Structure 1
Amino acid sequence: MQYSTPLPFAIFLMGPTASGKSQIALDIADNFPVEIISVDSAQVYRHLDIGTAKPEPATLIRVPHHLINLIDPDQHYSAAQFRSDALNIMHEITLRNKIPLLVGGTMLYYRALQDGLSILPSADKNLRLMLENMAKELGWPAMHQKLEELDQETAARIKPTDSQRIQRALEVCYLTQQPMSEILKIPRQTNFPYRKISIALIPSNRSQLHLRIAERFEAMLSHGLIDEVQSIRKRFSLSLESPSMRCVGYRQTCLYLDNKINSTELHDMGVAATRQLAKRQLTWLRSMKTDEVKEFDCLTSDLTAQVQHFLHAAIEKCTF
């Protein structure tokens, strides 16, 4: 495909969990010369298959997918790494005269890709271990109070129980000797050399999305989520604070395997956590410029036809 515009196309397919992004992406791949790039902070982990709704092996063979199965569950992957990896792969895809189709619900990754990242220090393993040990002794609410003393603005945006974000904010404060909120105000240098077509799948009825979420989590349990987590924990040294085990569904399953909750609580907590994730994703989507994002009702029966009609028109308009 030849482009008259100086910039190649890139398609963003966004939406909350259970909105049907994966199937729509495959439908798009049947009609457009695309390769799929996963924008999912959980699918980067090897062995986390059922709980992340990772595509089946046959699907990965039929349609090229990228940024899936990158690291082991005991490793870390950052938004900065995603931006670098995604830009490299997007360049390779365009050299093959195809269109990068970015699909997923990790909205921070989309923002990092488009807008760049503030200059924050890399993770410090020793400092993180120190903070984790402090938290074991004092509790995360107390660590949140320490953050409030150092960076009141950031602390106001973080819940006292959000261990991951508290730890990162404290880490930045200690490493840079300044509040993370001040660093984030520094203008970012960005370069996103693509003509973006953004699609958002938004439910017209939130309760219907909640039903989908419940059905999806129940299917994960029936397909062996508990056995999957048990197997992963046998192979790798992990805790509830490991990034991979913080993923929705995995954290709750760990609690079940540690006999801290029963099977009913596992179900209810897993569904509730997934609903909270969807709520956060929708909040991100609402904050984006509406004139740059084409919204579709993910619950409509002719969603595939609507999306494909829009893409044909958008690409034709920009090409000729």
Structure 2
Amino acid sequence: MNNQSIVLFLMGPTAIGKSKLSLQIKKIFPKVELLSVDSKLVYQGLDIGTDKPTSKDLQKYGYRLVNIVKPQIIYSAIDFYKDATKEIKNILKFGKIPLLVGGTMLYFKILLNGFASLPPSNPDIRNYIYTNICFKKKKRLFDILKKIDPVYSKKIHMNDVKRVLRAVEIFFVSGGQSRSQLIQSVHKKLPYKIFQFGLIPHDKSVLYTNIVQRFHHMLDSGLEEEVRALYKQQDLNISLPSINSIGYKQMWLYIQNKYSYQDMINHTIKSTVKLVKHQLTWLKKWTNITYIYDNQKYLLIKKIQNILKNNF
């Protein structure tokens, strides 16, 4: 086996310390190249609320797929698949080893399994479309479908609101691709030998404490000022995935006087804990993965060392 067949995955929930660990790995193993698997780190200007590595670290360690699109863009799972597979090929081409790091489990899944299916449902976006764009009028909803997906609109009745709404939602979630286009698009899984590691908490209460402390650190570091700067941009709104992300959504609502300051804090922490539970549920069901407790990170260093020793 040669280095062109090796890819490393490092998954884990929010606030468990994946980014710091990945930088440590990069220092120890120079052949490793870091690639972010995070649906929010792709956005420019979303720095504090995403706990993004510093500009200095990004430049020093070459983290890929960070700061690649403006927050006005809807960056889809399909966009990630195309960007990630391209970056992986480039890394391997130069004799390096891709280390994919992040907590967006859907992104890892499509790299492992490939996909010809549609993106998962997003209740928030679906509700926003129906309530604020179509004003709960099924004819208006169907007219939108006819414009964005004329092929599918001929196969479905206007009164089938559930399916019509899902088709319109797909257009928004996928970044402007219709249901008909996606059905025809088949993406293959990665053709490499993949070593998967999951960073999990040795004590969930410690992780939840870290979540609270981390968010208060974000507030102290200027999260409100960062979101206010985004709020001033007229082409940004809370329906966009960038602004609708945890921390930014709640601060946006605070700026709009829809939340008190304390409500903003409480809702952000609650949403983050909910996200972590969701991420851990994904990890529990994962296959072909080696779990590493967050208080035994040195074991991951040893395992990577063994992988390199046995394959190079």
TM interval, shorter chain, is: 0.7 to 0.9
Match of 2:51 in 1: 53
Shift of 1:314: 2.5
Match of 2:214 in 1: 216
Q: Is 1:69 equivalent to 2:67 in the alignment?
A: yes
2:81 to 77, 80, 83: 83
Separation in 2, partners of 1:25, 1:165: 38
Match of 2:291 in 1: 295
> 1:169/1:285 Cα in 2 relative to 1: closer, same or farther (>3 Å)?
farther
Separation in 1, partners of 2:173, 2:58: 38
Q: Is 1:168 equivalent to 2:164 in the alignment?
A: no
Q: What's the CA shift string for 1:245-284, capped at 9, x where partnerless?
A: 1111000000100001111111111111111111111111
Separation in 2, partners of 1:24, 1:165: 40
> 1:84/1:227 Cα in 2 relative to 1: closer, same or farther (>3 Å)?
same
Counterpart code for 1:316: K
**Unaligned runs of at least 5 residues, structure 1:** 122-127, 152-162
> 1:166/1:187 Cα in 2 relative to 1: closer, same or farther (>3 Å)?
closer
Separation in 2, partners of 1:268, 1:242: 22
Q: Is 1:101 equivalent to 2:99 in the alignment?
A: yes
2:255 to 234, 254, 257: 257
Shift of 1:24: 0.7
2:302 to 276, 291, 309: 309
> 1:283/1:166 Cα in 2 relative to 1: closer, same or farther (>3 Å)?
farther
Match of 1:205 in 2: 203
Q: What's the CA shift string for 1:210-261, capped at 9, x where partnerless?
A: 0000111111111111110110121342222111111110000001000011
- 1:205-284 map, 5 Å: 205-284=203-282
Q: SS at the partner of 1:66? A: coil
Match of 1:19 in 2: 16
Shift of 1:315: 2.8
> 1:164/1:268 Cα in 2 relative to 1: closer, same or farther (>3 Å)?
farther
- 1:178-193 map, 5 Å: 190-193=188-191
Q: SS at the partner of 1:283? A: helix
Separation in 2, partners of 1:248, 1:164: 23
**Unaligned runs of at least 5 residues, structure 2:** 120-125, 142-157
Task: Say whether the 8 Å CA contact 2:130–2:136 is kept in structure 1.
Answer: no
Separation in 2, partners of 1:223, 1:147: 50
> 1:134/1:59 Cα in 2 relative to 1: closer, same or farther (>3 Å)?
closer
The aligned length equals 282
Counterpart code for 2:51: A
> 1:213/1:313 Cα in 2 relative to 1: closer, same or farther (>3 Å)?
same
Separation in 2, partners of 1:101, 1:62: 16
Q: What's the CA shift string for 1:113-169, capped at 9, x where partnerless?
A: 221222549xxxxxx9x9456556339xxx9xx999645xxxxxxxxxxx9999339
Q: SS at the partner of 2:270? A: helix
**TM-score, normalised to structure 2's length?**
0.81
Match of 2:122 in 1: none
Task: Say whether the 8 Å CA contact 2:3–2:92 is kept in structure 1.
Answer: no
Q: SS at the partner of 1:38? A: strand
Separation in 2, partners of 1:66, 1:188: 25
Shift of 1:204: 2.1
Separation in 1, partners of 2:186, 2:284: 22
Q: Which runs of 4+ in 1 moved over 4 A?
A: 132-136, 146-149, 163-166, 169-172, 186-189
Q: What's the CA shift string for 1:10-39, capped at 9, x where partnerless?
A: 111100001100011011101111111111
CA RMSD of aligned residues (A): 3.2
Task: Say whether the 8 Å CA contact 2:15–2:211 is kept in structure 1.
Answer: yes
Task: Say whether the 8 Å CA contact 1:13–1:199 is kept in structure 2.
Answer: yes
